[in-house]
Amino acid sequence: MILNNYRYKEGFMYTNKPQVHVEQGEQLKLTIKRLGINGEGIGYYEHKLVFVPGALPTEKVVVEVTEDLNNFIRADLIEILRKSEDRVQPVDDYANEVGGFELENLAYPKQLEFKRDVIKDSLEKYKPAGYRKYKLLPTIGMDDPTHYRNKATFQIRSDGQKVIAGLYKHRSHTVVDLKTSALQYPLTMKVMRAVVEMIDDLGIPVYDEEKNAGIIKTVVVRAATATDEAQVTFITQSKKLLKKHQLLERIDHDLPEVVSVMQNVNPGKTSLVWGEETIHLAGKDKITEVLNNLSFDLSARAFLQVNPEMTAVLYQEAFKALELSGKEKLVDAYSGVGTIGLSVARQVREVRGMDTIKDAVDDANANAIKNGIVNALYEVGEAEKLLPLWIEDGWNPTAMIVDPPRTGLADSLIDTILDITPKKFVYISCNPSTLARDLVKLTRKYNVEYIQSVDLMPQTSRCECVVKFKKK
């Protein structure tokens, strides 16, 4: 599309004239016009997009160029010449250094507005049928948008003098040592810092990424907020864990909250956090969380939303959108440990769910038994393969909830949904972009009644939402 001598494509602006080039380290003055989908400020220099983490709309800033690519510039915020009225003091000192704290500079009511706007922008990009008429409800937020994360996954490294644990600095593999975090549930940080000190005291070799050497790569601490049980998982380069017995003795003596210790083996250089093999080291192999008055046993790799308080809100919004009568045969796709399907099992006739991770399915079926639920069954496999088999056997679903990962729905599953067209259908999304993409196909047979955004991850750019569909 050509407009005023500039060409717009997929969210970027290009000039018909040769693009200006700037050098790394060069400083620029610019005004921030808006926020990008990842929470970074966006301004323009000589009609070229500039992405500036930590900068807010309306601010006049000085930035330092870190990278000049063909159609946009990346830059660090150096000085704010004119502050936004919506700027607040971040609750973490390193909020602009690492990922997961992108919006701590922004007043919370404006964060909630931003998350609804991200959905709107995604819809405008993909243009599913009728998108201009979709009702985008105000984002539901938290009374206290801090200390909510029930899981910490920290990289373990050495700074040459001591063992450190934290997250990667923006666009690098340099670990920033996080000694505190206002977003983490306090128990996760207490356990994390104590375990890191133990690793340091015992001299256990930690991972050196450049040399691909050392033992402990990552430590994962998950806390069950309802029971205050904690689980520690050491992700290691090999099965060998030096001074394992001394480490377990220290954990047992110093951290009574830790009721489960596991080891996951993930050899070699990889972008994946988890490996395929998990070993039980001490205590129980699972911890117990309570959600919607149900108890859920969680194994080390089992997925659970990181914000239990707002997860309950998200699920209630999904169930409200389904308008259940009690007669439904409900499909719980991408089921994980069964938190969605089991939470609503007593309000429907029957639940069937599926997940591709066997441990999660085993947990889901065990959780059904644990909670006395007899009308729910979970199987290992992909929804697009299992659903046709169930229908061939005479089990026809009348309602469906999908809660896919950030990659959205597989095309084959969308095709299956459109073939089956259950009367009641709700989509829980954690990525507005892939949601909008999927809506292009889903709106062939469904209308979108509304989209309700829910803030499961305050202070970050991440957004969850519930889509209520009506069959055409």
- Show which residues are catalytic: 430
Interhelix angle for 383-392 vs 411-420, to 10°? 30
Cα–Cα distance, 33 to 44 (Å, whole number): 8
Place of tokens 């959600």: 291
458: tokens are 């305050």
Residue 166: how many other CB atoms lie within 10 Å: 22
263: tokens are 């080891």
208: tokens are 């050196």
Instruction: Count CA within 13 A, CB hemisphere, residue 418.
Output: 17
SS3 95: coil
CA of residue 12 relative to chain centroid, distance = 25
SS3 437: helix
Cα–Cα distance, 9 to 76 (Å, whole number): 25
Provide the H-helix boundaries in 172-243. 186-202
How far is CA 463 from each of CA 80, 119, 175, 413, 428, rounded to the nearest angstrom? Answer: 27, 8, 25, 23, 11
Closest to 173 measured CA to CA, from 204, 208, 198, 138:
208
CB contact set of 76 (below 8 Å; sequence gap of 6+): 52, 53, 63, 64, 66
Cα–Cα distance, 256 to 242 (Å, whole number): 22
CB 451 within 8 A of CB 426: no
